[in-house]
Structure 1
Amino acid sequence: MNTNNKVIIRSRDQTTTLPLTALDFSTFQTTWEKNSSYQVAFTAYDDSSLSFALLQVENSVLYDGQEYIIKQATDTYSGGVHSIQITATHIFYQLNNRRQNDVRKGDVSYSLQDALNFLMSVAPEYHYQVFGDINTHKTLTDFGNCTVTDGLSTISSNFGIYAIVPDNHTINLFSEANWVKKTGKAYYYRHDTSDVQLQYDSSNIVNRVQIVSTNDTPQFQPFYVTDDDSIKQWGIRDGERVENDQNNDTSGNVATAKRMLVTQPDLALTITTQAKNISKGEQWTLVIPESGITTKVQVVSITDTPFFLGSTQVSLNNTRQNFLDAFNARNREITELRGKMSSTSNGGGEANKANMWVIGKVSEV
C-alpha cells in the first residue's frame, strides 16, 4: 500500500491497515530533529470508523514512507464531541526498549563495524549503513549493559558519527562530510523568512577542565586543560573534572577534557519560512540585513504541517562560527550607534547619513 500521501493506521498484529478518515488535517504535524527526535502528532475526531478505533497505543501510523508507533493517545469528550490527540514516535525509537545486557569488560579496541555488530545483535530486525570513511579503531571501556540507543550514542561520540538518521528499520550513520548538503541557497529575513529568532545562552560555557589522578598513590599532579581565548573573553568557567584511576598516561583524559570544552555561548537559530522541499542536513546562508548578519547554517530540525498551507519552522545549527558572526554583527551595530550618538552630540548631521544600512544580495554562498 502506498502511504506517501496518506495517513495510514495499522494494528500492532499487522492484520488491519486502513486510511485514517477522521484526521483533522490542519493539526497533523511532523517533527524531526537531528540525533534527537522524529515523530508525528495530530488530532482525529470520532467518525465511528474502524481506523479511528485503531488509534491506540502501540499501533502504527504510516506516513511518507515511514512507520511511527503511537506512544501517547489522549481521549477527550467535550460538548458531545469525541476526539483523540495522538503522538507517535519513529519506529527507530523502539530501540529505547532493547538492551545489550552483555558487557565486554575493560578497555577493548573496536572497529566501528565490530562495535555496531555487538550492540545490534539484540535487535536483528534492524540494520545499519555507514556513509563516510569512519574506519578507525577506538577503545571503549566496559561497553555494554545499555539500551541500543544509548549504545549508539556512545559509539557516535567515540567514532565521530555526525548524524544518525533512521529509515524505518535501517539506521543510517553519516560522517559530517557525507551528511552536509551544500545547496548554495540563501535565505533573507523578510524575503524568504517571516520570522528569525536568535537565542543566546551563556550558561553552558566550559573553558577549563581539571585532570586528576585518583589512584591510591597519585600518579601525577592535577593539571588543567584550558581555552585561553575563551577565558580572556568570558572569564574562567570550570567543567566537571576528569579522573584517572589507573596510570600516568593522560592522553585519553586530555582528549576527553577537550571534548567537554564549550568555548562560546550557545546560539539557537530558528526561522519560519514559506519555503518548501527543505531537506535534512542542507547548508544555507542566512542573511539578516537589518543587523548585518550573514552566516553559514545547517538544517538540524524541521517542524511542518504538510496538509495545511502554513509556514515551516526550521532550526539551524549552533556552531562557534554562527555565534561569532552574530556577535561581531552586534558589535558593529554598537559601534555604529556610538558613532551616531557622538555625531549627534557634536552636531554632525552628515555623519549620521554615513551610518545608514546598505542592503544588498550575497553574490556568493
Structure 2
Amino acid sequence: MDIIIRNYEGTREEILSDVGKGSFSRKIEENQSYELNFDVTQTERNKVAFELVQHESSILFDGQEFIIKQMSTNANGKSIVKNVTATHIYACMQDGHQYDTVTGRRSIDQLLTHVFKPDNRGYTWEVIDPEEKFSTVEQENFGRDNYLKLVQEIIEDYDATMIVDNKHLMFYPRGGYGKKINEPIRYKYNTDSVGFDIDTLSLKTQIKGFPKKDDDDKYVFDPITYTSPEAEKWGIRIQDPVEDGRYTVKKNLEERLKKELNDIPDISGGVSLKFKSNIKIFDYVPFIYEPLNINTYIQVVGITDYPFLPNEPSELTLSNTKKTMTSILTGLVKKGVL
C-alpha cells in the first residue's frame, strides 16, 4: 500500500517514501478517533514529497483521507525527521457550524438533516436501521454548535455507531454493525497482556414487554415477561420494560426482549495479542474469562495495527457495554487535536 501526500491546496501530490515502517500505526476507536501516526526521514529520494509534509496536508492511505494535525520536526546530525499525526477527514466536521436550533421529538434522520443544512461542506450521511431500533428522542434547543459536536450529541442520544468512509457517514444502532468470527480472546491462550473492567451494576435478568393497543385501548395480546437463564446465577433483577406500539406479533416482541435484556456483565478492556490475527474493528469475538464463568461474544471497538509490519500483532479494545459510547469523540479534544 502506497502512502500519498497531497498539499493543502490540492495542487501537488506525491508518493511518500522512507516512512519508518516500525513507526507507522493506524488507530481506530469506535466513534472516538481514527488516525495515522508515523515518522518520515528526509532523503534524496523523497526530497519533493518531504516538503509537502506540512500541517493541513492530506495523507491518502488505504482508500481514506487523513489530515495532518500534529507534527514535530527533529534534526539528528544531518538527518531531518518529521513525526506526524494525521486525523481522519471526518473530524474536519468541526469546521462547519449550525446556528439554528430545533426543539421537540426528533428522529436521528431529522437531526442529521438539521445539522448539515444549508452547507454540508461535502459530507453525506445515511441511517442504516433495518430493524427500526432507533426511536425518536425529545430534544431541547438542539443546534448552535459545530457539526462534530452535534453529531457527537446524536450518537450519544440515539446510542449509535458511526462508520466513516472519507466524508460519507453511516449510522447504525450500536451493536448492529460487525460480524461474529471464531477467534477467541482468552487469557494465557493468545494474550498475556489483558486488562478488563467488569461491571455488574446494570446487570438485569428479567424484562417485560407491552405490545400495541387496539382501538378499545386494549393490548392486542397479553404483555410478555422474559426471564433470562442467567437468573439462576444472579437472581431476578428487573430491567425497565419495553413499551412499543409497533408490535402486533408475540414472537417478534419476545425476540426484542431477548436482545434488549442486559443479562451479562458489562465488560470493557484491552488486550495485546501474542501473534497476528484476522480480527478487524467491529468484529464480535468469543471472550472467555474463567473467574466469572463468562463465555460470550464481545465486540472489538478499537484497534491499533501496524500495516507495514506483517508479523506485528494488533492491540485491541473490547467492549459489550455502552460505556465506550460515553466518551464519544472526546479523545481528540483531550489530546488538543480539535
Give CA-to-partner distance per residue, 1:5-25, whole Å, 9 cap, x none: 111101111111111112111
5+ long unaligned stretches in structure 1: 208-232, 234-263, 321-365
Q: Distance in 1 between matches of 2:269 and 2:312?
A: 22
Counterpart position of 1:310: 312
Of 68-77 and 289-298, the range deviating more from structure 2: 289-298
One of 125, 128, 133 as aligned partner of 1:128:
125
CA contact (8 A) 2:58 2:67 kept: yes
After superposition, what is the alpha-carbon deviation per residue over 1:158-189, rounded to whole angstroms, capped at 9, x for unaligned? 2332x111110100111135314222432343
Tell whether 2:96 aligns with 1:98: yes
Residues 201 and 284 from structure 1, CA distance in 2 versus in 1: closer, same or farther, beyond 3 angstroms?
A: closer
Q: CA deviation at 1:291?
A: 8.4
Q: Which has the higher helix share?
A: 1
> Is the CA contact (8 Å cut-off) linking 1:131 and 1:178 kept in structure 2?
no
Partner of 1:249: none
Q: Any conservation in 2 of the 1:268–1:318 contact (CA below 8 Å)?
A: no
* Paired amino acid for 1:298: Q
Counterparts of 1:7 and 1:130 in 2: how far apart (Å)? Answer: 31
Separation in 2, partners of 1:45, 1:54: 13
Q: Indicate the residue corresponding to 2:334 in structure 1.
A: none
State how far apart, in whole Å, the 2-side matches of 1:194 and 1:201 are: 18
- How far apart in 1 are the matches of 2:52 and 2:287? 43
In the alignment, which residue of structure 2 is the partner of 1:53?
51
Shift of 1:293: 5.2
Task: Tell me which of the two structures has the higher relative contact order, counting C-alpha pairs closer than 8 angstroms and 6 or more residues apart.
Answer: 2
Alignment check: 8 A CA contact 2:268 2:318 kept: no
> How far apart, CA to CA, are the structure 2 residues paired with 1:40 and 1:280?
15
Task: Letter of the 2:318 partner, please give it.
Answer: L
Q: Distance in 1 between matches of 2:109 and 2:19?
A: 43
Counterpart residue type for residue 272 of structure 1: L
1:116 equivalenced with 2:116 (yes/no):
no
Cα gap change, 1:268 to 1:187, in 2 (>3 Å)? closer
Distance of 1:41 and 1:276 partners within structure 2:
21
Residue deviations 1:119-153, cap 9 Å, x none? 01232410002111256332210011111121112
**Residue 84 (structure 1) aligned to one of 78, 82, 85:** 82
TM-score using structure 2 length: 0.68
Q: Does 1:29 align with 2:28?
A: no
Where do residues 61-210 of structure 1 align in structure 2 (5 Å cutoff)?
61-104=59-102, 107-121=103-117, 122-132=119-129, 133-134=132-133, 136-161=135-160, 163-176=161-174, 178-191=176-189, 193-200=190-197
Which amino acid in 2 is paired with 1:269?
G
* Counterpart position of 1:254: none
Per-residue deviation, 1:34? 0.3
Q: Go from structure 1 to structure 2 and tell me whether the alpha carbon gap of 1:273 and 1:100 turns closer, same or farther (over 3 Å shift).
A: farther
Q: Which residue of 2 aligns with 1:277?
A: 278
**Does the C-alpha gap of structure 1 residues 70 and 174 become closer, same or farther in structure 2, counting only changes over 3 Å?**
same
Q: CA RMSD in A?
A: 2.9
Distance 1:24 1:18 in 2: 17
Partners of 1:114 and 1:297 in 2: CA distance: 31
Instruction: Sort the Cα spacing of 1:294 and 1:275 in 2 relative to 1 into closer, same or farther, 3 A.
Output: farther
Identity across aligned pairs (percent)? 24
Q: 1:69 to 1:288 in 2, by over 3 A?
A: same
Is contact 1:189-1:289 (8 Å) kept? no
Structure 2 Cα separation of the partners of residues 108 and 31 of structure 1: 37
Following the alignment from structure 1 to structure 2, what is the Cα–Cα distance between the partners of residues 275 and 287?
19
1:55-85 deviations in whole A, cap 9, x for unaligned? 1000000111000000011000123321010
Residues 69, 85 of structure 2: 8 Å contact kept:
yes
Contact 2:126–2:169 (CA under 8 A) maintained in structure 1: yes
In the superposition, relative to structure 1, how do residues 199 and 288 fare at CA in structure 2: closer, same or farther (>3 Å)? closer
Counterpart CA distance in 2 for 1:145 and 1:97 is 13
1:288, distance to aligned residue in structure 2 (A): 5.1
Segments of structure 2 that go 5 or more residues without pairing to the other structure are 204-233, 235-264, 323-338
Partner SS, residue 308 of structure 2:
coil
Cα pair distance change 1:135/1:27, threshold 3 Å: closer
Post-superposition shift, 1:280?
1.9
